[in-house]
Amino acid sequence: MQKYNVLIFPCGTEIANEVINSLANNKYFKTKFASSEIDSYCTFNGQEVHYLPYVTDKSFENHLMNIIKNEKIDFIVPAHDDVAFALSQIEKIETKVIGQSRFINELVRFKDKTYKYFKNIIPIADIYKDENEIIFPCFIKPKKGQGSQNAFLVKNKQDFEYYKTRYRLNEFIFMEYLSQEEFTIDCFSHKGNLLYAGGRTREKTTRGISVKSTFISDKFLNQKFHEYANIISQKLNMHGVWFYQMKLDKEGKLKLLEIGPRVSGTMMLNRARGVNFIELALYQKLGYDVEVIYNDIEVSLGRALVPKYKTNIEYKRLYVDFDDTLLIDEKYINSDLMKLIFQVKNENKEVILITKNKKNNLSKILHKFGITNLFDDIIHIKDSDKKINYMIMNSLLIDDSFAERKEAIENGIYAIGIDNINVLFK
């Protein structure tokens, strides 16, 4: 099988993170990146980030076509709702887009159109046509939008008057407030036939992305999720990856919130089961018959923002301390440091173990963990000696000792403690 180039745009979103992680180390699909905020970083995961203007810019399509041609892009994965919508509007695009049809994107991008289309087909919250019909508390959200962005709980008439002064309410929907639990159902379809639907909680969200989520084990809920997923998939002729969201009203009845024609930010929970939506979608686009298999296990996740660093640190040799740096609590090998060591070795740089190990257990520990031959050299010095005497310039030291790091830095050598090794990860 040949190899393919996959462009992820924009590459700085949580959705993009899931796409990137889904394809990490895949031997057939090579990820490439584009962003409209190029000033914030010029490289991503060690690769160049290509500039694309915002999708609202008149030059967007020309810039996109140039990247597709110059970088030989075989697939584009949109990592934002506006991008998914814009790509679906381009009539002739010289690559394959991982997304849904123009009709589907136009329908689901606007909540009022979605609710009108599925009225009397899937349960939907009561929609108030004008402010005189509103029953407080109510929920207002943009007709065009995603997640919970610019959506508000309006508790009373006074609050409503406040929002009237700040927003163009003709661009919003006024709807029944659904006070109970909210769910996302991640789905995969083939020409309208539903192949998979995995329902999960949305226990905590940040900017519309679920950061705490658990697979649903309730049989009744899962039955309803599959039922509604089948209806949506068949009605819209879904093909590939998509999701939808529902919420319980005060009486415990499920009602539709929105449908997403793209990868969701927390589809990683399904990947923990063995369902890689991005790989499935790419193979599907290539014309392969795809099948969804998964481990029927209970999985939960909680996550925080993961920092990505860009530094000007350059070095040709890595020096690594042993006690309390590579070996933690005299029991465990520092797995984060091992990751860095192999990253450095992959870059054909030297890795030197330098230590004052006093217990004379160095050989025993290295043999126990099978890393005796990991290093280009092992420098075992006396306690009275100084590591700096054995280090050359253009190097980096990883050491838990403040004194050792201070001495290295004062002599023009980079030095980092074990608390921030991830600064060096690419």
CATH number, domain of 357, equals 3.40.50.1000
41 has pLDDT over 60: no
39 has pLDDT over 80: no
Specify the pLDDT at position 132. Answer: 82
Q: Do the domain assignments include residue 311?
A: no
Alpha-carbon distances of 278 from 177, 242, 409, rounded to whole Å: 34, 11, 45
Percent of the chain beyond pLDDT 90? 75
Task: Give the residue from 369, 324, 375 showing the smallest Cα distance to 351.
Answer: 375
Q: Do the domain assignments include residue 413?
A: yes
46 has pLDDT over 70: no
311 has pLDDT over 90: no
Q: Do the domain assignments include residue 130?
A: yes
Specify the pLDDT at position 146. Answer: 60
pLDDT band per the 50, 70, 90 thresholds, residue 114: very high
Specify the pLDDT at position 167. Answer: 80
- Please count the residues of the chain: 426
The total number of structural domains that make up the chain: 4
pLDDT band per the 50, 70, 90 thresholds, residue 332: very high
Answer yes or no: do 341 and 289 share one domain.
Answer: no
Calculate the dihedral angle through the C-alpha atoms of 282, 283, 284, 288, rounding to the nearest 10 degrees.
Answer: 160
Q: Do the domain assignments include residue 113?
A: no
Range among 127-136, 236-245, 287-296 rated most confident: 236-245
pLDDT tens string 353-385: 999 998 889 999 999 999 999 999 999 999 999
147 has pLDDT over 60: no
Answer yes or no: do 404 and 374 share one domain.
Answer: yes
Structure tokens at 189: 């379809």
d(C-alpha 242, C-alpha 187), whole Å: 5
Answer yes or no: do 275 and 322 share one domain.
Answer: no
From 252, 275, 302, give the residue that closes a domain.
302
48 has pLDDT over 90: no
Answer yes or no: do 205 and 169 share one domain.
Answer: no
Q: Read off the pLDDT of each residue in 230-248 and give the average, rounded to a whole number.
A: 97
Q: Read off the pLDDT of each residue in 142-163 and give the average, rounded to a whole number.
A: 80
> E strands of 261-416, at which residues?
300-302, 317-320, 327-328, 332-333, 350-355, 377-380, 395-398, 414-416
pLDDT tens string 256-297: 999 999 999 899 999 999 999 999 999 999 999 999 998 888
247 φψ region: left (φ > 0), alpha (ψ -120 to 50), beta (else): beta
d(C-alpha 247, C-alpha 184), whole Å: 9
42 has pLDDT over 80: no
Could you tell me the residue range of the domain that residue 202 belongs to? 181-302
Alpha-carbon distances of 30 from 3, 72, 130, 132, rounded to whole Å: 7, 11, 50, 55
pLDDT tens string 156-177: 988 888 887 888 878 889 999 9
Q: Do the domain assignments include residue 117?
A: no
Mean per-residue pLDDT of the chain:
92
Q: Read off the pLDDT of each residue in 169-188 and give the average, rounded to a whole number.
A: 92
Answer yes or no: do 139 and 205 share one domain.
Answer: no
